[in-house]
């Protein structure tokens, strides 16, 4: 919701509060510009099965998925995923 409305302050607050130095708003916005089929084929979204939740969970790639949703891309291609 915040991403779709370009309200990035909650994201910035979260990465600051959790000391996620590998993340930044600039990196996120740069990633948003790079997202395309070729990029996703090279930088796959990692998922694994969670027995406790009884469903697939994203272990790496939440930002990529959020950007895809912002771009109204809801069908995830098989070649973008690694398990």
Contact indicator for 25, 12 with CB cutoff of 8 Å: yes
Position 28 scores a pLDDT of: 86
Position 21 scores a pLDDT of: 86
- DSSP string computed for 43-78: SPEEEEEETTTTEEEEEE-HHHHHHHHHTT-----G
Position 5 scores a pLDDT of: 77
Question: What is the residue-level pLDDT of the chain in tens, covering all 83 positions?
Answer: 677 778 888 888 988 999 988 888 888 889 989 999 999 999 999 999 999 999 999 999 998 998 998 889 999 999 999 99
Position 49 scores a pLDDT of: 97
């Amino acid at each position: 919701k915040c991403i779709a409305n370009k309200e990035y302050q909650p994201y910035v607050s979260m990465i600051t509060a959790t000391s996620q130095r590998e993340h930044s708003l600039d990196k996120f916005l740069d990633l948003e510009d790079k997202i395309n089929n070729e990029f996703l084929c090279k930088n796959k979204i990692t998922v694994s099965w969670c027995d406790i939740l009884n469903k697939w969970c994203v272990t790496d790639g939440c930002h990529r998925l959020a950007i895809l949703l912002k771009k109204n891309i809801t069908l995830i291609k098989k070649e973008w995923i690694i398990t």
